Amino acid sequence: MDEQVPRDFETLRAAILDRRESLPKRIAQIAAYALDNPDDIAFGTAASIAASAGVQPSTLIRFAQQLGFDGFTSLQQVFRERLRERNSSYDERLQALRAKAEGGAGHRAIFDGFIAAASTSLNDISRTLDDAHLEDAISLLAKAQTIYVLAKRRSYPVASYIAYALGKLKIRNQLIESAAGLNAEMVGFATPADAVIAISFSPYAPATIEEARVIAEQGVPIVAITDSSFSPLAQFASVWFEVAEADFAGFRSLSATMALAMALTVGVGEKRRDASRKRKA
Amino acid sequence: MDEQVPRDFETLRAAILDRRESLPKRIAQIAAYALDNPDDIAFGTAASIAASAGVQPSTLIRFAQQLGFDGFTSLQQVFRERLRERNSSYDERLQALRAKAEGGAGHRAIFDGFIAAASTSLNDISRTLDDAHLEDAISLLAKAQTIYVLAKRRSYPVASYIAYALGKLKIRNQLIESAAGLNAEMVGFATPADAVIAISFSPYAPATIEEARVIAEQGVPIVAITDSSFSPLAQFASVWFEVAEADFAGFRSLSATMALAMALTVGVGEKRRDASRKRKA
DNA sequence: GGCAATATGAAATAATAATTCCAATCCATA
DNA sequence: TATGGATTGGAATTATTATTTCATATTGCC
């Protein structure tokens, strides 16, 4: 009988679980360790793993052989492959998914595409966000009497969530929306004691830019979330964040922008709480 | 002068980018390769990596030394650590981050928390989404004359993005918002030839539930996005999706809901295009 | 164009790690 | 409790891999 050698982690896991009962003591010990600490198996040396698991290196090799591998090294490959898979950059997957969706491969492919776009955006922003900017923006907003929230079109959902969250946190805010065409007047009320969160991505909604310009001229500090240093918003802003949202099928993921927006909002809430606590003390 | 040895991947990356200009040709070559194929560095041997990058193993070691490491092995540790980090379940990180943010560990921790919550939600939905439900929902919506979009409060941002996207795709839609208090009338216009996308999470906004009930009684099919099978929305819906959004600091990530919403929207767009193409043929 | 400093390639060497082997131990069974 | 087979520990061996070295090539500078 020729042993079926597990080539992927799940098969391997199943194989181990399957024999669990019939394994000798020390082998069972290393088997349990392997399933509990797969990363260690992927990166460690036979000696280091054996030591951590409390067995001899030779036992580790016997374990591998029992499973049909010809040695520890080939067993380790499976554990490494697992990390590679799990980690294979979302960017590559996104490319593949775009092609697949173009080719008309069903609606699941579209869904996967949006998931991948969102994940990519989250990874990017998590890497590139500047902590100092975050602190600056939060300080600036925490001092404001009223926080105005300015965004149209595709950025509007973010603005509406910010307004909702600010409201929940009992932070005075005003969403600048267009329903009644009174934006200009609304904008006119803002003073340098207030602050603005403005969000706009290319192609920048002209109304957003115009209103940001006016409000900046009134001396109101602006925190901007936009997509490049060439953005017209960046020049009006006291602090601005560059957020590169991946898109799919023509629609931008908003996940990174949402996360940043929430961090700003909750950050302001915390800062205010700390400040009022300090005043009391 | 003692070189500051990068201990984590991001620092390393920054260090490489920083010197990019001043590196000799072959070293630059391996530097570029390292940033493009970090996984290969993590798992390969000096010889295999050198071969893939088209340089000598010794060059690889010189590269590591330039960066302040004492050899390839310690450079490789950083690349391995990165995989370990990235792979440690987001759930665990989320727990840790929550604790950290509670302890008042600065605003970056809050931001990281929202990122982790979003990632967790994306992972979850990607695992649990039922393809058949997705197909059903898209078919149902594609047949509708007008798509009504119903959501309040924290779900409202998703609804507004759906409405924006449907508009972009030239799909007739109506966002049921409360501005003028005419919701009841708006809801009254819907017929069985239309369809509804309704979104609500616990605690379910009473208005959403009530409007969904009315509209269901009129025989209008409903696609619901909600958070459990006990949701009152589920009972009115023809198709419903369970989306478990992780929360952080009291606010739900909307990333998974957004991704699903976009998949539905774009899916409907595609289905309509296919259908009209077929009619012409 | 010639010289020095720097960079590169290739092979030798050193270090490290995997595997094998054999003796000792354990365990089930008669 | 004696016996055979399976299991285990530990050191010896072998293989693999990182590192060093040195000769050669390239580059920048006078």
Q: What is the pLDDT of residues A138-163, one digit of tens each?
A: 999 999 999 999 999 999 999 999 99
Q: Alpha-carbon distance B262 to A243, whole Å? A: 20
Q: Considering only CA atoms, which of B227, B231, B279, B234 is closest in space to residue B254?
A: B227
- Write out the E strands in chain B: 147-150, 173-176, 195-199, 222-226, 239-242, 247-248, 251-252
State pLDDT tens for residues A71-104: 898 889 888 888 876 655 555 555 665 665 555 5
B264 and B185 share one domain: yes
Mean pLDDT of A204-231: 90
Chain A residues inside the 8 Å CB shell of B156: 160-161, 164
Is position B183 within any domain?
A: yes
Supply the CATH number for residue A79's domain. 1.10.10.10
Do B55 and B154 sit in the same domain of this protein? Answer: no
Q: Examine the domain organization and report whether A81 and A135 are in the same domain.
A: no
**pLDDT by residue (tens digit) across B111-140?**
988 998 999 899 889 878 888 999 999 999
In a domain, A101, yes or no: no
- pLDDT for B8 equals 79
Determine the residue of chain B that is closest to A166 in CA distance.
B251
Q: What's the CA B47/C1' D16 distance, rounded, in angstroms?
A: 11
Residue ending a domain, choose from A29, A62, A87: A87
* pLDDT classification of B29: cutoffs 50, 70, 90: confident
Which residue type sits at B197?
Answer: I
Neighbours of B204 (CB within 10 A): 18
Report yes or no: B35 at the A interface, CB cutoff 8 Å.
Answer: no
Q: Are residues A274 and A199 in the same domain?
A: yes
Q: Which residue has the higher pLDDT, A136 or B22?
A: A136
Do residue B82 and residue B97 come from a single domain? Answer: no
What would the mean pLDDT of B86-98 be, rounded to a whole number? 59
- In this prediction, residue B1 has a pLDDT band, given cuts at 50, 70 and 90, of very low
Q: What is the CATH number of the domain that holds A220?
A: 3.40.50.10490
Number of domains present in the structure of chain A = 2
What's the half-sphere exposure (Cβ side, CA atoms, 13 Å) at A111?
Answer: 24
Provide the CA A46 to C1' C17 distance, Å, integer. 7
Q: Which domain holds residue B114?
A: 90-119
Distance CA A138, CA A189 (A): 22
Domain limit, last residue, from A32, A53, A87: A87
For the segment B58-78, the average pLDDT, to the nearest whole number, is: 88
Q: List bases in chain D with any atom under 7 Å of a protein Cβ.
A: 6-11, 16-22, 27
Of A129, A157, A266, the CB nearest to B158: A157
Tell me the average pLDDT across B71-95. 75
pLDDT at B96: 62
Residue B4 covered by a domain: no
Lowest mean pLDDT among A132-136, A257-261, B10-14: B10-14
Indicate if the pLDDT at residue A1 is higher than 50.
Answer: no
Token output for A154: 């595709």
Which spans in chain A are helix H? 9-19, 25-36, 38-43, 46-53, 57-66, 72-87, 90-102, 107-128, 131-142, 156-168, 183-188, 206-217, 232-236, 255-280
* Separation between Cα atoms, residue A238 and residue A225, nearest integer Å: 11
- Percentage of residues of chain A with pLDDT beyond 90: 37
Verify that B108 and B28 share a domain, yes or no: no
Could you tell me if A183 and A59 lie in one domain? no
Whether residue B124 is contained in a domain is answered as no
pLDDT of B20 > 80? The answer is no
pLDDT tens-place string over residues B152-204: 999 999 999 999 999 999 999 999 876 555 677 778 889 999 999 999 998 88
**One domain for residues A74 and A187:** no
Statement to judge: residues B102 and B143 lie in one domain: no
pLDDT of residue B258: 96
Same domain, B172 and B112: no
Q: Of A28, A56, A87, which closes a domain?
A: A87
Residues B31, B170 within the same domain? no
Q: Is residue A226 included in any domain, yes or no?
A: yes
Q: Answer yes or no: do B75 and B100 share one domain.
A: no
Phi, psi of B196 (to 5 degrees): -130, 140
